[in-house]
């Protein structure tokens, strides 16, 4: 390739990077394509194009370009990792596992790859138990975003004491992306694996409530708790990811929120739970328990002086 074409290819690539930075993905995609058309061995352009395709949910195209970047650069660690991530979202778990392992082979300290191998194990268990329902949405006995399930359960004082003894992370010290923000603490997503008597009891009680609400046996995917302090909250988000969408779990995944302590509501931001599409606002009370579809966006802002404590569960109905 002559120097003029090489320079042109690099210029298209650099312009594409700038477009991607400001969120102009359509222009970025066009410019990466131009760079590749001039220089088909431009592995970084293939990789960046794959990232754009991933962002716009064109996953099959993303796979093509991740694989091409690996073909051109066999030790491209990030390409193996991101390819594994896309394959995971598509439910192609064996292939995803192979790519995460390859990334770890190249970099044994790649923490995110190790974490994703654990996720692959959990997802294999999930799909072995929860089969996507092929019924029409209108034939299902499920909670809709129009009809949120609400009930109350008395909160044992010893439950709050137990949660305070469980290891947590500080919200404002974690570098991981999370919908939660501000001052506060949060647990891992395996709360119900705790062997304490009070945690076992809450798991049993909430399982019964969830099964009654969705009229089905359930599979619990995640269980956790949050302790929010003044100036904290939840950005608008859902608990429904690409994997759930691609596997067809739209009508089977739900989220539960159980308020153990509402904290201080004498403030301009008392921690109202805001649900979207359709809009609904719920001011929590102690012991309030809500269940809504996991793909329903929700948020909250809390400014009170006392701790606000809640348990969250993400689960699937089996029928």
User: Each residue of 145-176: pLDDT tens digit?
Assistant: 778 999 999 999 999 999 999 999 998 876 45
Same domain, 205 and 64: no
Q: Structural domain of residue 204, as residue ranges?
A: 137-317
Domain end, chosen from 129, 145, 163, is at 129
Tell me which residue has tokens 């008597």. Answer: 197
Same domain, 94 and 145: no
Q: How many CA atoms lie within 13 A of 34 on its CB side?
A: 18
Q: For residue 74, give every residue at least 6 positions away whose Cβ sits within 8 Å of its Cβ, in sequence order, or none.
A: none
Same domain, 59 and 208: no
Q: How many CA atoms lie within 13 A of 287 on its CB side?
A: 7
CATH number at residue 291: 2.60.120.620
Domain end, chosen from 129, 151, 180, is at 129
Same domain, 146 and 239: yes
Same domain, 179 and 141: yes
Q: Of 224, 309, 229, 241, nearest to 267 (Cα)?
A: 229
User: If you average pLDDT over residues 55-80, what whole number do you get?
Assistant: 97
CATH number at residue 76: 1.25.40.10
pLDDT for 222-275, tens place per residue?
999 999 999 999 999 999 999 999 999 999 999 999 999 999 999 999 999 999
Global pTM? 0.89
How far is it, in rounded angstroms, from Cα 305 to Cα 52? 43
The rounded percent of the chain whose pLDDT value lies above 90 is: 89
Q: Of 297, 234, 239, nearest to 271 (Cα)?
A: 234
Contact 130, 219 (CB under 8 A): yes
User: If you average pLDDT over residues 84-110, what whole number do you get?
Assistant: 97
Q: Of 292, 290, 217, 223, nearest to 253 (Cα)?
A: 292
The pLDDT of residue 138 is 59
- Output the CA–CA distances (angstroms, integers) from residue 118 to 97, 205, 318, in the order listed: 10, 28, 23
How far is it, in rounded angstroms, from Cα 71 to Cα 77? 12
Domain end, chosen from 129, 151, 173, is at 129
Phi, psi of 182 (to 5 degrees): 90, -155
Same domain, 124 and 142: no
When divided into structural domains, the chain yields a total of 2
Note if the bond before 278 is cis, omega within 30 degrees: yes
């Amino acid at each position: 390739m002559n120097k003029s074409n090489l320079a042109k290819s690099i210029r298209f690539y650099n312009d594409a990077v700038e477009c991607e930075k400001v969120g102009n993905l359509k222009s970025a995609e066009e410019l990466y394509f131009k760079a590749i058309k001039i220089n088909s061995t431009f592995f970084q352009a293939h990789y960046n194009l794959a990232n754009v395709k991933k962002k716009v949910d064109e996953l099959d195209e993303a796979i093509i370009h991740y694989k091409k970047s690996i073909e051109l650069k066999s030790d491209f660690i990030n390409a193996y990792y991101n390819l594994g991530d896309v394959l995971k979202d598509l439910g192609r778990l064996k292939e995803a596992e192979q790519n995460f392992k390859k990334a770890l082979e190249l970099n044994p300290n790649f923490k995110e790859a190790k974490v994703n191998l654990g996720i692959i194990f959990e997802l294999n268990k999930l799909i072995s138990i929860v089969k996507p329902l092929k019924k029409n949405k209108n034939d299902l006995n499920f909670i809709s975003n129009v009809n949120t399930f609400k009930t109350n359960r008395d909160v044992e004082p010893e439950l709050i004491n137990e949660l305070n003894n469980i290891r947590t992370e500080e919200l404002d010290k974690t570098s991981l992306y999370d919908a939660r923000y501000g001052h506060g603490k949060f647990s891992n997503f395996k709360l119900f694996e705790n062997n304490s008597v009070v945690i076992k009891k809450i798991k049993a009680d909430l399982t019964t409530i969830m099964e009654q609400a969705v009229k089905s046996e359930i599979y619990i995917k995640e269980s956790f708790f949050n302790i929010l302090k003044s100036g904290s909250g939840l950005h608008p988000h859902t608990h429904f990811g690409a994997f759930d969408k691609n596997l067809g779990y739209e009508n089977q995944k739900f989220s539960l929120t159980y308020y153990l302590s509402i904290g201080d509501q004498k403030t301009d931001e008392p921690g109202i739970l805001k649900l979207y599409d359709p809009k609904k606002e719920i001011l929590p009370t102690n012991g309030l328990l809500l269940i809504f579809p996991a793909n329903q966006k929700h948020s909250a802002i809390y400014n009170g002086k006392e701790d606000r404590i809640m348990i969250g569960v993400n689960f699937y109905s089996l029928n």
